[in-house]
Chains A and B, each alone.
Chain A
Amino acid sequence: MYVYDAIDQRMVDERVAQYRDQTRRYLAKQLTDDEFRPLRLQNGLYIQRHAPMLRVAVPYGMLNSRQLRKLADIARRYDRGYGHFSTRQNLQLNWPRLEQVPDILAELAGVQMHAIQTSGNCIRNITTDHFAGIAPDELVDPLVWCELLRQWAALHPEFAYLPRKFKIGVSGSPADRAATLIHDIGLQAQRSDDGAIGFRVLAGGGLGRTPILGQVVREFLPWQHLLTYLEAILRVYNRYGRRDNIWRARIKFLLRAKGLEAFRAEVEDEWHWSKDGPGTLTGAEVERVSRRFTRPVYRRLPDSGELHRQLAASRAFALWHERNVHAHRVSGYRAVTLSLKRRGVAPGDVSAAEMDAIADLAERYGCGEVRVSHEQNIVLADVAAARLHALWLEARALGLATPNVGLLTNIIACPGGDFCSLANARSIPIAADIQRRFEDLDYLFDIGELDLNISGCMNSCGHHHIGHIGILGVDKQGSEFYQVSIGGAQGAHAALGKVIGPAFSADEVGPAVECLIECYLARRDSDAERFIDTVRRIGLEPFKEHVYGKRRSQGTHRVRALATA
């Protein structure tokens, strides 16, 4: 966990003072709505359907127990006692009062947190792998690089009024758990043959209504040049990105319009003057930031024989162990996912009491740190294998031990029409209905690995394009309908899903998902073939036929004419 120094602290304090004054002037009608909007957005404050929404930055998903307790405290005192973890690893509070936001920001600053640039047309929170620093398959620990990027991006004077939002994701592992292909800039840390660290730089990825995977603009960028090169990309985008149409304003459209070669040449030209200049990173700075991270002290632990006995003795524990316990680079340790996907609770929602309880678990079973995953779960990174069973018992008592990581009910969903004013349709009831249909653990485990993502609108906060099954809320003549796509994937083999056909009404979505699963179970060549593999092997047609054929035979095609997707 990165620990602020005096200057880091002063900057967030000064930001609070600045925003307090801006809020005061807005309330005194010295700032118009239009003038205040970018100022509040750059402090994470949206005006939502029912109330403002405050998005608190969780830089690269890392929190310590003290910060988590403070979030619980804020949720209780300034909100309705809960928060929502988003797919960009941030925490959203759905009911703060606009005039109290400066006080909330001051509380956050007290625990080295902020809401800087969690919204608005600027560089957003940097995201990374939730197993950063502990994954056995990691080539480079991305955490230090994320913090260097956080500092560089924070209050960057040149890029506060970009054509549109700008998201950067960093991965240190070839498995790419940071979804770098769907970011405006994706950085894949690598080591060259001689061991030097560098980054493959991708640009122009993004979901939204025109989903596009990022393209490689530079195969290997030595780490020294990270900041100057990113500035060159941002500058080209800031100067030439479209500003006349917000649906064509992301960098992906500029890259597509110019073509990869021309874009790259322009970036190189812009980079030329700043390359090797004062913005070039130094070994001393990397070392300094690295030293400001607290690191767990690992002990030499035997891989516990007791664990094997416990696994053999309890099937429920074994199922949880199979899905929610992950390998650690240090022998004798594991990472554990506490699932925030339980029936009856919106995906990613967590109550203040749960936040306190999780903070407590983190201190007693980990090193006092938690990570927020882009799948909207909580990860305890450093748990001794011998203590997994005890942790499981406690997590289960808290309702945080649903053994579904990587399975169908680990649904990723945005807050949807229940909260968000942009949404066309609700996502939470759809998620609840699907979770209910697949509650049976034997069935759920038999289906195996499957990512199911739900977005309430084309802004795609639920990342539906990269779900093996993706569900998108659409508005059809004032009613909620849902488009279903299959074949999307995240990670190193990221792909965009394809729509299977006309949209479904809310109560048809669950049955449609059941049909897709029936078709998969009937067509898979073995238990080892995952849903996504079957889709890739046999294509969309058999799934379409099964879903729509069945629906026709049940006489429920009444909506088809309405819903031409």
Chain B
Amino acid sequence: MASVVRKGRIESERWQRLDEVRLAALCAGAEAPALAAESVVLIPLGLWLVQRARLACLALRSAVLLNAEDDPSPLLPHLGAVSRIAVHFARFADGRGYSLARVLRQRHGYRGELRAIGDVLRDQLFYLGRVGFDAFELRSDQDPHAGLAALADFSASYQGCSDQPAPLFRRRAA
């Protein structure tokens, strides 16, 4: 059973991916009421940029979907108005999403939810948490309790990062 580790708890709500046909129907206003009851809908960045005004009018909870190769620059001016972003990991060993998260959080000050989806495994969770993800949709075979525990694999870290911008040496001095 696929689960989500979010803000120190295990939850069940996963964000929905729709195929292109349903996304088009959604933007045309046909699907929104039904979907709204279900869960948050992932809107790929390209579509979100084009349709964001229309999406805003729908009674719908949505999240911007970023892939590792996406250039987030066109999203940056709207970051303050976005409350949910998902970064999709096609392969857990693709590290681009880590820098993307850090850039969104620390360089551009994104404060909403940042969720890791896709090939998300417990052994990467500690680092993902540090770079700025605060929710993790684990791959369906993963044990959510183990995932939750993995967020505490280390009790200290040397470097500053999104979770704690001050490196250890600044905190040690304090």
Contact = CB atoms under 8 A, between A and B. Distances in A.
15 contacts: A15-B154, A35-B121, A39-B123, A121-B95, A151-B158, A155-B157, A156-B159, A157-B131, A158-B102, A160-B127, A161-B93, A243-B94, A278-B160, A278-B170, A282-B173
A135 B92 CA distance: 45
Contacts of B160: 278-279
Contact of A7 (B92, B153, B168): B168
Given A151-B158, A235-B103, A279-B167, A284 B92 contact: no
B121 A159 contact: no
A290 interface: no
Contacts of B167: 152, 227, 278-279
Interface residues of B, number: 37
Contact of A162 (B95, B154, B158): B95
Contact of A277 (B99, B158, B165): B165
A158 B94 contact: no
Interface in A35-76: 35, 38-39
A243 B99 CA distance: 15
A281 B173 CA distance: 12
Contacts of A31: 123
A238 B169 contact: no
A18 B123 CA distance: 9
B57 interface: no
B67 interface: no
Contacts of B168: 7, 151
B157 A161 contact: no
B169 A282 contact: yes
A10 interface: yes
Q: Which 9 A-B pairs have the closest CB atoms?
A: A161-B95, A157-B130, A157-B127, A285-B169, A151-B158, A278-B166, A238-B99, A273-B107, A158-B98
A101 to B, nearest CB: 16
Contact of B106 (A155, A161, A274): A274
B126 interface: yes
B100 interface: yes
Interface string B31-58: 0000000000000000000000000000
Contacts of B127: 155, 157-158, 160
Given A239-B99, A278-B170, A161 B94 contact: yes
Contact of B156 (A11, A160, A282): A11
Most buried by B among A18, A163, A279: A279
Contacts of A152: 158-159, 167
B123 A22 contact: yes
A256 interface: no
A238 B157 CA distance: 20
Nearest to B153: A18
Given A22-B123, A239-B100, A10 B165 contact: no
Interface string B140-174: 00000000000001111111110001111110110
B96 interface: yes
A266 B126 CA distance: 29
Contacts of A38: 93
B139 to A, nearest CB: 10
A288 interface: yes
Interface centre among B106, B121, B158, B172 (most CB of A within 10 A): B158
Interface in A247-261: none
A14 interface: yes
Contacts of B93: 38, 121, 161
B170 A7 contact: no
A154 interface: yes
Interface residues of A, number: 39
Interface string A357-386: 000000000000000000000000000000
Nearest to B158: A151
Given A18-B153, A158-B99, A278-B167, 14 more contacts: A10-B156, A11-B158, A22-B123, A35-B123, A151-B158, A157-B130, A157-B131, A157-B157, A159-B98, A273-B107, A274-B107, A281-B169, A282-B173, A285-B173
A322 B173 CA distance: 48
A121 B94 CA distance: 10
Contacts of A158: 95, 98-99, 102, 127, 130-131, 161
Given A157-B130, A239-B100, A274-B106, A288 B156 contact: no
Interface in A482-517: none
Given A14-B153, A38-B93, A157-B131, A288 B158 contact: no
Interface string B109-129: 000000000000101101110
Contacts of B131: 157-158
Contacts of A15: 154
A274 to B, nearest CB: 7
B102 A7 contact: no
B102 A235 contact: yes
Nearest to B121: A35
Nearest to A148: B169
A382 B160 CA distance: 37
A160 B165 contact: no
A393 to B, nearest CB: 45
Given A10-B156, A14-B155, A278-B165, A159 B103 contact: no
Interface in B2-48: none
Nearest to A239: B99
A11 B161 CA distance: 17
Given A155-B157, A243-B94, A288 B169 contact: yes
A243 to B, nearest CB: 7
A121 B95 CA distance: 10
B95 A155 contact: no
B126 A239 contact: no
A236 to B, nearest CB: 9
A263 to B, nearest CB: 16
A396 B43 CA distance: 72
A238 B68 CA distance: 11
A230 to B, nearest CB: 11
B37 to A, nearest CB: 36
Contacts of B170: 278, 282, 285
Contacts of B96: 238-239, 243
